[in-house]
Each structure stands twice: as C-alpha cells, then as structure tokens.
C-alpha cells in the first residue's frame, strides 16, 4: 500500500481515511488514478475534466472511494461487487460489514494494480465475481467460494471470534484480509488456469477435479500429513489441490502488498512496488530476495514488543515453486 498525503495540508493519510485529521478536509480515493483527493463543500472533486463524488456506501460501508458524478448516487468498483449484505436494522452486523468492506477494498486495489481481470455478475451472470457478506448471528453461514460467488461470515470481523477460531484450527494467521485473499484465489483459479497452464498446475498442486467432499472429510478426520511443512504453505493447503492453490495465491498477495507498503516507507527497494514489472523467474527471485530479510526484521521487531512473529511462515523450496507459478500468472508479469 502506497503512502498517501493530504493534498491540502500535507498530512500523511491511511488508505481508509475519509477525513484528514489535521485540516478536517473531506477525502476520497479514486481507483483509476490510485490517489486520495480533497473534496469541496459539495463532496465533489474534478479530476482530469471528470467530476467525482463519494460512493453511495460512505455511511453504511465506511467507503471512502469516489465514483463519476451521474446525478444519482452510485456504487464504487468495490461496493458494486457485493450482492448481499445485512439489513441496516442489524446494527452489530452492519458494523462488521463495514470492516469487511474495508478489507475488500484493499484486495480490489491490489488486484487492480497487478492487472488481474475483475468481471462482476453484471458482465458474467454465471461465474462473475460477487460477494455475499452475511451475519451468522441468526443463520448458518459458511465462508467459501462457488463459481465466482464468495460468501463471508461477518463474525470473522469480530476479534474474539476470529482468535478463538484461529486457536481451535491451529492456524498461525487468520484475518479478514486473509479470508478475502484466499477466497479470491479460488475465483482466479477459474479465471487463470486454462489448458495452457493446466499441466503445470497439476504438477505442483495436483488434480483440482479430485473429490472435494472426500478430501474435506479426510482432512478433518485425519489432519494434515506428517512433514506437510516441506510442501505446503499451511496445513489447510494440504486438504485439496484447489485449497493449496487458494492458500498459495493468498500468500502471493500478502507478499506483494507488504513489499509495496515497505517500499512506500523506505523499508524495501523502490522496485518492489506493485506497479513495478517483475517478469518471469528473475522477477520472482528478486521478490524473494527482498521478502526474506524484510520478514526476518519484522519478526524481530514484533519480538522486541513482546508479540508473536508477524510472519509465522517458512517457505521451503516446494512452496516457493508454487508461489512462483502464481507470479507467472500475473498479466503484467
């Protein structure tokens, strides 16, 4: 994530800011230019001859993104992908919904910067990308993916619930952002794995057409195989080839966004940003060369503060080969 500044007073801004805390200016982020702008008294700004205004979901989803002015309220590129959300009368669920949309916007920006295609259900009714963000307080909700439709249990936005699940499932890392990146990996398996790369996919991950229910039952009855850390980025990745790919894809997004943020704050080379073209094996080797010392330093900083490692992962050769495969799928690489 790049480093943003208020264009009125120079105050440093977070990606999520809708108001400058120094000069009280209203703010908005515009995806095509990847820039935060200061808005006028009407909540508008002109960019390259185009009048922009805030997304319709400013209040309900804490959305600070801008959309072209049309005279009627409209949704931004991220919010329009959400098919279902809680009713506004469910105050607790709506707070969790706002947190989920905030995490989703970060993912959509990264996908855009990597040049990955995003087709919503308006373009592709059958397998287009869409999100159902649902509360499990009064119904059963299973987080998952089905032909482009991503369902998320909004309880994952609750820190206590998420930590309980993390400990129960013995996961070193569990966040809202991580859920979105994992599930979006399933979507991009559908989009990016064609006949040209299918053989290479199967060589690394296995046959994605293997019986999923049988794999699920086996995983939860027997657990991960011994020595799984030599070949998989997480124990959940051992369950099925599709889950292995989704976990690996999510991990690639973790690496690229974190390097991009580190570069913005002079903690990594300028060439490690998301908009830098890093083609082929050479580009991936450069990413690894930047990534490993950065994570070592971040882990040591966390330990100095009495926290557990920020990056609790080991990347053996087989896992790096899988992440390199994902890198090769990026349109700009």
Ordered DSSP codes for 27-54: EEEETTTTEEEE--TTSEEEETTEEEEE
Report yes or no: 12 and 4 within 8 Å, Cβ to Cβ: yes
* For the chain, domain boundaries: 4-75, 77-192, 194-332
Q: What is the pLDDT of residue 159?
A: 54
Q: Which of 319, 265, 313 is nearest to 292 (CA)?
A: 313
Distance CA 21, CA 36 (A): 14
The tens digit of pLDDT for each residue in 291-316 reads 999 999 999 999 999 988 888 888 99
Q: What is the pLDDT of residue 166?
A: 43
What is the CA 186 to chain-centroid distance, rounded?
Answer: 12
Report yes or no: 248 and 318 within 8 Å, Cβ to Cβ: no
The tens digit of pLDDT for each residue in 150-170 reads 999 998 645 544 455 444 445
**Which alpha helices (DSSP H) does 148-279 contain, by range?**
159-168, 176-192, 195-205, 212-222, 241-264
Residue with tokens 């908005």: 28
Is residue 109 very low, low, confident or very high in pLDDT (cuts 50, 70, 90)?
very high
Is residue 172 very low, low, confident or very high in pLDDT (cuts 50, 70, 90)?
low
Q: What is the pLDDT of residue 170?
A: 53
CA quadruple 175, 119, 260, 7: dihedral sign? negative
Report yes or no: 78 and 63 within 8 Å, Cβ to Cβ: yes
Q: What is the pLDDT of residue 164?
A: 53
- The pairs formed by 322-325 with CB atoms below 8 angstroms and a separation of 24 or more are 322/204, 322/205, 322/233, 322/244, 322/245, 322/248, 323/233, 323/248, 323/251, 323/252, 323/255, 323/284, 324/281, 324/284, 325/200, 325/201, 325/204, 325/248
Q: What is the DSSP letter of 152?
A: E
Can you give the pTM of this predicted structure? 0.91
Q: Which of 30, 87, 38 is nearest to 63 (CA)?
A: 30
Is residue 31 very low, low, confident or very high in pLDDT (cuts 50, 70, 90)?
very high
The tens digit of pLDDT for each residue in 262-294 reads 999 999 988 899 888 888 889 999 999 999 999
Q: What is the DSSP string of 74-133?
A: ---TTGGGEEE---TT-HHHHHHHHHHHHHHHHHHHHHHHTT----BTTT-TTT-BEEEE
Q: Average pLDDT in the 191-201 region?
A: 96
Distance CA 35, CA 1 (A): 11
For residue 294 the two structure tokens come to: 């950065």
């Amino acid at each position: 994530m790049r480093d943003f500044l208020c264009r009125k007073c120079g105050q440093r801004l977070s990606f999520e800011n809708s108001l400058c805390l120094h000069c009280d200016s209203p703010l908005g982020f515009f995806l095509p230019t990847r820039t935060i702008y200061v808005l006028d008294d009407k909540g508008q700004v002109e960019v390259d001859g185009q009048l922009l205004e805030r997304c319709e979901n400013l209040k309900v989803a804490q959305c600070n993104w801008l959309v072209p002015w049309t005279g009627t309220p409209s949704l931004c590129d991220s919010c329009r992908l959400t098919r279902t959300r809680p009713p506004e009368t469910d105050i607790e669920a709506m707070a969790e919904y706002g947190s989920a949309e905030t995490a989703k916007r970060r993912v959509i920006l990264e996908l855009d910067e990597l040049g990955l295609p995003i087709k919503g259900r308006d373009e592709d009714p059958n397998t287009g990308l869409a999100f159902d963000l649902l509360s499990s307080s009064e119904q059963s909700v299973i987080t998952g993916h089905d032909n482009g439709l991503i369902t998320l249990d909004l309880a994952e936005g609750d820190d206590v619930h998420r930590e309980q699940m993390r400990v129960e499932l013995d996961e070193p890392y569990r966040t809202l952002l991580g859920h979105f990146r994992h599930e979006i990996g399933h979507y991009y398996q559908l989009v990016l794995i064609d006949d040209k790369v299918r053989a290479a996919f199967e060589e690394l991950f296995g046959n994605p057409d293997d019986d999923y229910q049988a794999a699920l039952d086996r995983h939860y009855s027997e657990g991960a195989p011994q020595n799984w850390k030599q070949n998989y980025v997480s124990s959940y990745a051992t369950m099925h080839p599709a889950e292995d790919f989704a976990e690996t894809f999510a991990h690639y997004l973790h690496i690229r966004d974190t390097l991009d943020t580190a570069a913005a704050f002079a903690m990594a080379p300028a060439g490690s940003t998301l908009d830098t073209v890093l083609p082929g094996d050479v580009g991936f080797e450069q990413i690894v060369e930047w990534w490993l010392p950065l994570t070592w330093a971040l882990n040591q900083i966390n330990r100095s503060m009495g926290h557990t490692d920020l990056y609790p992962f080991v990347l053996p050769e087989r896992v790096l080969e899988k992440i390199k495969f994902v890198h090769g799928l990026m349109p700009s690489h």
